[in-house]
Amino acid sequence: MSKDPLVVFTPSGKRGRFPSGTPVLDAARKLGVDLDSVCGGRGICSKCQVQPSYGEFSKHGVTVAPDALSGINAVEERYDRIRGLKPGRRLGCQAQILGDVVIDVPPESQVHRQVVRKAASARAITMDPATRLHYVEVAEPDMHVPTGDFERLSTALREQWGVEGLRADLAVLTTLQKALRKGAWKVTVAVHTDGGAPELLAVWPGLHEGGIYGLAVDVGSTTIAAHLTSLETGEVVASAGIMNPQIRFGEDLMSRVSYAMMNPGGDAEMTRAVREALDKLAAEIAVEAQVDPATILEAVFVCNPVMHHLLLGIDPVELGQAPFALAVSDSLRLPAKSLDLTALPAQARAYILPCIAGHVGADAAAVALSEEPGKSEDLVLVVDVGTNAEILLGNTTRVLACSSPTGPAFEGAQISSGQRAAPGAIEAIRIDPVTRAPRFRVIGCELWSDEDGFAEATAQTGITGICGSGIIEAVAEMRLAGLMDENGLNGSPEATGCDRMLAEGRTYSYLVHDGSADGGPVLTVTQGDIRAIQLAKSALYAGARLLMDEMQTETVDRVVLAGAFGAHISPLHAMVLGMIPDVPLDKVSSAGNAAGTGARIALCSVAARREIERVVREITKVETAIEPRFQEHFVAANAIPHKTAPFPELHKIVQIPNVAFGAASEATGRRRRRR
């Protein structure tokens, strides 16, 4: 043969000719093919596994002879014997190219492999972590060339991996000597590169096979959720959540700001509380996943601005008053220990996403990173409902953001029979439009309350209260059943003809469930509950409207409901309530914990960090607190507009008549509603 063998790599399609005898890994590197290798071609890490194809490949114009690669060698035999190689697989560093060949790089052998996300609509995460493992052979010390162990390691990393200008924290420098000697000058190092100089985060003797991990943490006002994630595969190996212990200082953000304002040292007290909780969570999640905490080398945090400041140890009082000035708005790269995360190694790194504005935090940035409204052709409204709602509206032309103080009503707080989402809580309610009798489902049981076996199935948990999604459905269903008017005023038993309407003072409550016979609670929806939900949903809707005004639109193309709440809420009922603008139901999707997903994306990809840092600068911030139209929209949104479910043609719900029980409205006749 006069020509060197031709190699074609799939799926990239990259191709080139190499001298006979070239290892596949070398060819891949020269062509820029995404083929992983931790040991740098020494035949010990097995990350560079490839799948050669034999036979005719007209698509690639290559005919592959059976001897296109060198035979299985001793290194591969040994590896196969001890660990097992899948049929047909070769180690890219051992197999040499002898003739024309097509070589497939399976996903698990790609550095920039994609992590499939659960939400089908969402893009995959492309692995591009800040922290990577390298196996490296370090020169032994020589009295006549008296450089330090660290300097020889740096040289080896530069020469073998192109890592320039390595730095190290004392915490890892102190471990270097022993690891190098134990590994006989062969070690695996974790190197972190995120904008600045590459930083040595860990050293293990020989080949480290215990993996490396990071924590993606969503620090919410009410709950803290963490995902322990492999920095090699992007896989979530454990998730855990706890209540934010700052709740004892105030349920919502503004009461925590007030606490800091009224109590000297109150901010430090709250900082300590959240840091202790995070540290405990980190320790627990490592135990749960059976992961060595010494391998957790990174943590990424997303949170709203008040939590952001309290986590950092910055007094949040400026966020409680105009001009709502953030102490720091850009992303932060910090030693994790500066957040008192003692469960992680002292040299672990923390990354905190940028805040968008004084009321629109790193959590909103994380939602933007996860849901990418700026890459949507449709005009998409993304609503992340928590104690505060983060709202994004945008498409490829422009993205707007605001936050809206919905309060904790949507989380079941400030509701007379409310409770947090937990087993025993009513999470779904339907009211029969004729009999006005409710049927419901509780968390922990798949049956509806009017189905056989319900009583037995719920005997354990009891029926203890109504959680956020339950109260929303209850209010919407009461409206649909003609039990309240568009102002949200509950009707009397006489006016409604429903004996479940109970007088309480001058107002009326709807009886959902009476468990008193069995010593359980009596669960009702009071006029006060309706008012709380009205305030919350008006705030949410007004925020969305404000962004729509700014965008000069009356409609949106689709709605994404994010957050734990968004995952459980019924879009239909949300629209009946007027929480979100009307769109066809199939244009409403749930993104789950989009903020947490954003944190996970930032954990797995430095490119994503740079992207969100750029994107937040391009987002137009709308400040609800000082915008007069917010108040106008808020007042206007107080009504519960739909006497019927929207888009009846989609939902097969017939219109029911207007009802009114207050002085301002007028009672009219009513019709039946079918579901």
Q: Which range of residues in 477-485, 550-558, 589-597, 619-627 is near its own copies by CB under 8 A?
A: 619-627
Using the rule CB under 8 A, give the single segment among 26-34, 42-50, 139-147, 555-563 that binds its own copies. 139-147
Strand 389-395 relative to strand 398-404, pairing: antiparallel
Q: Does 329 bind its own copies (CB under 8 A)?
A: yes
Q: Taking CB under 8 A as the rule, does residue 356 contact its own copies?
A: yes
334 near its own copies, rule: CB under 8 A:
yes
Binds its own copies by CB under 8 A, chosen from 156, 176, 240, 257:
176
Judged by CB under 8 A, does residue 322 bind its own copies? yes
Q: Does 197 bind its own copies (CB under 8 A)?
A: yes
Contacts of its own copies in 360-399 (CB under 8 A): 360
Q: Which residue number, 331 or 496, has a Cβ lying nearer to its own copies?
A: 331
Across 209-224, b (16+ Cβ under 10 Å) vs e yields eeebbbbbbbbbbbbb
Strands (E), 79-212: 90-91, 96-97, 101-104, 114-115, 125-126, 131-137, 167-168, 186-192, 199-205
What are 365's two structure tokens? Answer: 């940035």
Expressed in angstroms, the distance from the first to the final Cα of the chain is: 76
Q: Output the smallest distance, CB 563 to its own copies, in A.
A: 23
Among 56, 77, 151, 292, binds its own copies (CB under 8 A): 151
* 182 contacts its own copies (rule: CB under 8 A): no
∠ CA 449-453-454 to the nearest 5 degrees? 25
Cα distances from 611 to residues 117, 118, 375, 511, 617, in angstroms, run 19, 22, 12, 51, 10
164 binds its own copies (CB under 8 A): no
Nearest to 390 by CA among 636, 573, 642, 221: 221
As measured in angstroms, the least distance from the Cβ of 246 to its own copies is 17
| Distance of closest approach, residue 152 Cβ to its own copies, in angstroms | 9
Nearer to its own copies, 259 or 565 (CB): 259
Contacts of 605 (CB under 8 A, 6+ apart): 125, 126, 127, 128, 129
Which one-letter amino acid corresponds to residue 64?
V
What SS3 state is found at 255?
Answer: helix
User: Which of 40, 99, 141, 293: binder of its own copies (CB under 8 A)?
Assistant: 141
Answer for which of 4, 34, 128, 315 binds its own copies (CB under 8 A) is 315
Site string for its own copies, 262-301 (x = CB under 8 A): ----------------------------------------
Q: Is residue 314 at the binding interface for its own copies, with CB under 8 A as the rule?
A: yes
Residue 626 binds to its own copies (criterion: CB under 8 A)? yes
116 vs 89, 240, 303, 337, 613, CA distance in Å?
24, 20, 24, 31, 23
Out of 4, 26, 80, 169, the residue judged to bind its own copies by CB under 8 A: 169
Does 327 help bind its own copies (rule: CB under 8 A)?
Answer: yes
Q: Which one among 55, 88, 323, 515 touches its own copies, defined by CB under 8 A?
A: 323
- Map the footprint of its own copies across residues 525-554, applying CB under 8 A: none
Distance CA 73, CA 429 (A): 66
CA of residue 202 relative to chain centroid, distance = 27
Residue labelled with tokens 């449709």 = 378
CA distances from 586 to 71, 374, 490, 564 (A): 56, 21, 31, 20
Residue 328 in the binding site for its own copies (CB under 8 A): yes
Among 225, 253, 303, 357, interactor with its own copies by CB under 8 A: 357
d(Cα 471, Cα 473) in Å, to the nearest integer? 5
Selected binder of its own copies within 74, 81, 142, 397 (CB under 8 A): 142
Position among 330, 378, 499, 504 found at the interface with its own copies (CB under 8 A): 330
Instruction: Report, in Å, the least distance between residue 150 CB and its own copies.
Output: 4
Q: Phi and psi dihedrals of 4, rounded to 5? A: -65, 155
Residues 6 or more apart from 248 whose CB is under 8 A from it? 273
Tokens of 14: 């990259």
Residue 82 binds its own copies, judged by CB under 8 A: no
- Of residues 324, 507, 520, 585, which one binds its own copies by CB under 8 A? 324
Least CB distance from residue 542 to its own copies, whole Å?
18
Tell whether residue 205 is a contact of its own copies (CB under 8 A). Answer: no
- HSE-CB at 265 with a 13 A cutoff on CA atoms is 2
What does the DSSP 8-state code read for residue 454? H
Write down the least CB distance from residue 533 to its own copies, Å: 29
How many residues contact its own copies, by CB under 8 A?
47
Find the part of the chain contacting its own copies (CB under 8 A) among 90-98, 108-116, 145-153, 230-238: 145-153
Nearest to 309, CA basis, from 330, 335, 328: 328
- Gap between the Cα atoms of 139 and 180, Å rounded: 10
Of 121-129, 149-157, 283-291, 591-599: span binding its own copies (CB under 8 A): 149-157
Stretch touching its own copies by CB under 8 A, among 16-24, 141-149, 364-372, 445-453 = 141-149
Q: Which stretch binds its own copies (CB under 8 A): 106-114, 137-145, 471-479, 517-525?
A: 137-145
Rounded distance, CA 278 to CA 57, Å? 54
**Structure token digits, residue 360:** 């629109």
Instruction: Candidates 106, 313, 462, 528: give the one binding its own copies (CB under 8 A).
Output: 313
Contacts of 380 (CB under 8 A, 6+ apart): 371, 373, 392, 393, 394, 395, 556, 557, 558, 559, 560
The region that residue 594 occupies, defined by phi over 0 for left and psi between -120 and 50 for alpha, beta otherwise, is: alpha
Could you tell me if 620 and 391 are in contact, meaning their C-beta atoms sit under 8 angstroms apart? no
Tell which one of 20, 114, 121, 174 touches its own copies (CB under 8 A): 174
Q: Does 628 bind its own copies (CB under 8 A)?
A: no
Q: Taking CB under 8 A as the rule, does residue 629 contact its own copies?
A: no
Among 1, 74, 120, 143, binds its own copies (CB under 8 A): 143
Q: In the complex, which residues of this chain contact its own copies (CB under 8 A)?
A: 140-144, 146-151, 168-171, 173-174, 176-178, 196-197, 312-315, 318, 322-330, 334, 338-339, 355-358, 360, 621, 623, 626
